[in-house]
Every structure is written in structure tokens, then in C-alpha cells.
Amino acid sequence: MRTRPTILYYSPDADSVPSLIRQWAESNAFPMTVLDDADSVESIILRGAPVLLFIDADRTGDRGVELIRRVKRDAFTAIVPVTMLSQTHHPDRVELWFAAGTDEVITEIFTAAEQRARLDAMLVRTVRDVSVHPSTRLPGTNEIEREIRRRLTSSGEFAVCYADLDHFKEFNDRYSYYDGDRVIYIVSRILHDVVRGLVGPSGFVGHIGGDDFIFVISLEDVSPVCTEILQVFDTLIPFQYSDQDRRAGYFFGKDRRGQLHRVPLMTLSIGIVTNKNRSFAHPAQVSELATEMKSYAKTLPGSIFVVDRRRGEYEDDSGGRGDHR
């Protein structure tokens, strides 16, 4: 989460916040808002603000349980972590809270140290869950930006590689979104497994969304990693087509004007930006150039990777458009 989340504490008694919770919130610089109305709590969550929801189970009773159900019923708000707080420990109530969808329960059965440990673990889970793409379980845009920023502050030479599928929309139109999701997952595994296999934990693979991916590796690893990715891609992806389409190497699809045209099998384009000949001040600059290189790669036939070879500061646009393998 880019901003510090606000703790929403749902209770009819503003003075009921346990001192341990207040201390934990202050130690993490989390603002806290105490609300006695469930509708107000849900309204704030629906606005998309980053929040952690704590519910005073002893004082809200069934209303607290119903609030959990309402929050978890909506996919947009279900990602908000809910913690039930109680001064007593009744296993049947704990079972009810978890059945309703709560993410954590803190009761008197835990020592103060264990309560803080559980709260810390809940926070780690929260950051992890909102930072990955649900269909591929790869890090999302926040983590991608964080990784690029980390590379910018390090001393090594690195490459930011933007991978994008060609003719993916036409594939979706001919087959189905289910088949499209399967292709996205296959590509995510190819990128992850090749990068992890050849580079190890020093490599990073993220999912921007749809058929767009980013992976970050050392400059020296660009050629072997990208070559392997494209070879595996070109081997596996044709088998996502019907036998007829695969043997033909294309299928007939309609363009925006309804005219039939040949649609080739999907290929993979990778645009690459490095800090070998350029310096960057912000991840957005890297992202902009990576997008430009990806767009250039998509104008070339087949599965391909292209590397930006231009020199100078980010603002200097002189030089070649890049080269390919």
C-alpha cells in the first residue's frame, strides 16, 4: 500500500480501543478512526481508501458479524483485512467469526507479545495479498515500481524488460476468455520459471495486468534469459490452438470493419531498457521508455526482444531505435 492505511475501529464506545491496539497503531504510524455506525464503516471502505478494519466483538455482537459478511460479500471490499477483538475467548464465537470471513481474531487467550505478533503477521499478509495479481500470483504494479526504484538506487547494471503478447485479443475473440486466461497463466509461468531457473532470486517478475508483464534482471542476463523465454513460448503456445489453426499457422478473424483477414499465431514481444548508457531519476521514466521499446518490438515480425541502445540522460532521445537478437 502506497499510503499508510487508516485503522477503522467499529465500536459504540470510543474509549473501548485496547491500549495494545493504540500502541501498535502509533508504532506503525497508522491513523485511527473510531466509528459506531456500520454503514459509515462500509461507506469509507467502498471509497477505496486503504484501511484495516478492527471490530469490537464484545460490544457490537451480531452487528459486527453482519458487517464482516457485508464487507466480504463484495469482491471490491473483500480484500480489506478484518480483525475481531474480544476480551473473552469462546470457541463457538471464534468459529462464527471465521465463518463470517474475519481474517484474524485477537482474544485474552493470547499474551500481549503474541497479540502484537499476530497483528504484525496480519499486516504482512495484507501487503502481500494486495501486491500480487490474483490470476498469476505475480507481484503487481506497486511491487514492480518498488523493484525498479530499488534497482535505481543500487550500483549494478540492470535491464527492465516489458513483455507483451501479440494477437492476444484476436485469440480471445476466436476462442474464449477462459482460454485467454489459460494463456496468460502459461506466459506467467514461462517468465517466472525461466527467470528463476537462469537468474535465481536476484531476478524479478511482475504482472502489470492483462497480457502485460515486467521482469527485471541483470544486464548480462538479458540475452540468455530472453532467448530462452521466446524459445519456450514459441514451443508451448501453438498447442493452445486447435489442430487446424496450429497446422495452418493462422486463422481468419474479423477486423474492426468486419472484414476477414488472416490472424497469425500469438508471438511475444519484449522491449528492454537498461541503465548501461542512460541514467534515470524515477521509475516512471524507466516505465515510459520500456513501453516505447515494447511498442517498437511489436512492429517487428515474430517473437522478439529489442534493447534500447541510445545514450545519454533520459531526456536525450538521440540515437538508434534499439536492436534485436
> Does one domain contain both 166 and 223?
yes
Q: Is residue 135 part of a domain?
A: no
Domain of 72, in residue numbers:
6-130
41 and 87 share one domain: yes
Task: Assign residue 10 the CATH number of its domain.
Answer: 3.40.50.2300
CA distance 53 to 43: 13
Domain boundary among 130, 150, 173: 130
Interatomic CA distance for residues 324 and 253, integer angstroms: 29
Give the chain's domain count. Answer: 2
Quick one: 119 and 151 in the same domain? no
Tell me the pLDDT of the chain (325 aa) as tens digits: 446 789 999 999 989 999 999 999 999 999 999 999 999 999 999 887 778 999 999 999 999 999 999 999 886 788 899 999 999 999 999 999 999 999 999 998 999 999 999 999 998 888 777 667 767 888 888 889 999 999 999 989 999 999 999 999 999 999 999 999 999 999 999 999 999 999 998 999 999 999 999 999 999 999 999 999 999 999 999 999 999 999 999 999 877 777 888 999 999 999 999 999 888 999 999 999 999 999 999 999 999 999 998 876 544 332 333 344 3
What does the alpha-carbon distance between residue 321 and residue 159 come to, in Å, rounded to a whole number?
16
Is the domain of 316 the same as that of 240? yes
User: Based on the domain organization, do 217 and 268 belong to the same domain?
Assistant: yes
Q: At 272, which helix (H) or strand (E)? A: strand 267-274
Residue 102 sits in the same domain as residue 216: no
Last residue of a domain, one of 109, 130, 151: 130
Would you say the C-alpha torsion 96, 102, 107, 113 has a positive or negative sign?
A: positive
Q: Does 150 share its domain with 250?
A: yes
Q: Are residues 167 and 31 in the same domain?
A: no
Tell me the C-alpha distance between 137 and 299, whole Å.
Answer: 30
